[in-house]
Amino acid sequence: MKDTIRQRIERMTDRFEEVGRLLGTPEIAGGSQQFRELSMEYARLQPLVERYGRFRDLERELAAAEVLTTDSDPSMRSLAADEVVSAKKAIEAAEPPLLSMLIPVDPRDDNNIFLEVRAGTGGDEAAIFAGDLMRMYARYAESKALTVELISESPGDHGGFKEIVSRIAGRQVFARFKFESGTHRVQRVPATEAQGRIHTSACTVAILPELEEVEAIDINPADLRIDTYRASGAGGQHVNKTDSAVRITHVPSGIVVECQDERSQHKNRSRAMALLKARLLAAEQAKQDNERAHSRRLQVGSGDRSERIRTYNFPQGRVTDHRINLTLYKLADIMNGDLDELLDALQREHQAEELAAGE
């Protein structure tokens, strides 16, 4: 463990002990505002301090075992050597969860999300890849017992989607998906390519946290244009014979949202308003992020080939995440929804950056 991080934890431990003493003094009466604030601080620090205490116990066990490795008794030295190996493994396993407790919790981590995929550069092939990406995310979500609901879709001329929006609900959804925003590039030979040439296309992905309190964004009804229309579909039960689909335009920003999945116009309008508020919040946060040049991982590109966070190379069977220089030769598994290795690596990198920023 780095000295700077250890010093930071030691300071938090000292503060925990200080708060404990303050809570025990008669000057701070139970029920007062100060008492409540100190109690909350104590409860917030306690898990970290307790875990650090167990970590320090492991370090003391290691130090004691290392002393015994110089014992005059050969059998004792051998036993101590085994204990040193065991203690080092225990410390190595205990450090990551301890460090993760130092990282500020994103209050949006447990929010549901709106997942938007749009075809960018590449025409029909980009639209087909947009469909592949949405299928990849849906399979990953289903493997985690998350709920996937279609919000709206605009089919491509030869398959896939020009744009498709889904809502994903469950535990820790935003925490898992939040680093997927950006431009995704694909390199492969399209089915329509007679010469076998590799084409490069791109799609943009946007991850928008659904607001817990939809009233958190104030929208003037006069700023909205609301249109209803007949939902499109592939036929059968999906053909809608009434004007239940809803399109909402926020005139000042030019943001347009649609919802056509529900058979009820009221439900579609409610879902479209939730999506609009999520987009407006994301736009405001992106503006603030741009002003502070903050966290380019959460920014969505224009869909140009040159901007990308990840490349899916089909001829070589590899996926490269350019933000963390990670390349995996398991493209088929990833496109089938096996995203854990990618997402875990992104989260580890984010945690490392947060720890470095806090030093």
In the 3-class helix/strand/coil scheme, how is 175-228 assigned residue by residue? Answer: HHHHHHCEEEEEEECCCCCCCCCCEEEEEEEEEEECCCCHHHCCCCHHHEEEEE
Question: 323 is written with which tokens?
Answer: 């933000």
Average pLDDT, the chain: 86
Supply the DSSP string of 269-288, one letter for each residue. Answer: HHHHHHHHHHHHHHHHHHHH
What is the predicted pLDDT for the residue at 262?
A: 65
First to last CA, the chain: 12
Alpha-carbon torsion, ordered 97, 99, 101, 107, to 10 deg: -110
3-state secondary structure (DSSP) of residue 31: coil
Q: Which of 51-55, 92-96, 133-137, 187-191 has the lowest mean pLDDT?
A: 187-191
Give the torsion sign (CA, 275, 280, 285, 286). Answer: positive
Rounded to 5 degrees, what are φ and ψ at 129?
Answer: -70, -35
Q: Give the whole-angstrom CA distance, residue 73 versus residue 69.
A: 9
- The pLDDT tens digits for 13-27 are 999 999 999 988 888
Alpha-carbon torsion, ordered 243, 244, 245, 246, to 10 deg: 100
Judge whether 328 and 125 are in contact, CB under 8 Å: no
Model confidence, pTM? 0.69
| pLDDT band for position 128 (cuts 50, 70, 90) | very high
Put the strands of the sheet holding 310-313 in their side by side order: 147-155, 161-169, 113-119, 199-209, 182-188, 310-313, 318-321, 326-328
| pLDDT band for position 304 (cuts 50, 70, 90) | very low
Q: How many CA atoms within 13 Å lie on the side-chain side of 342? A: 28
Judge whether 113 and 208 are in contact, CB under 8 Å: yes
Q: Give the whole-angstrom CA distance, residue 292 versus residue 66.
A: 49
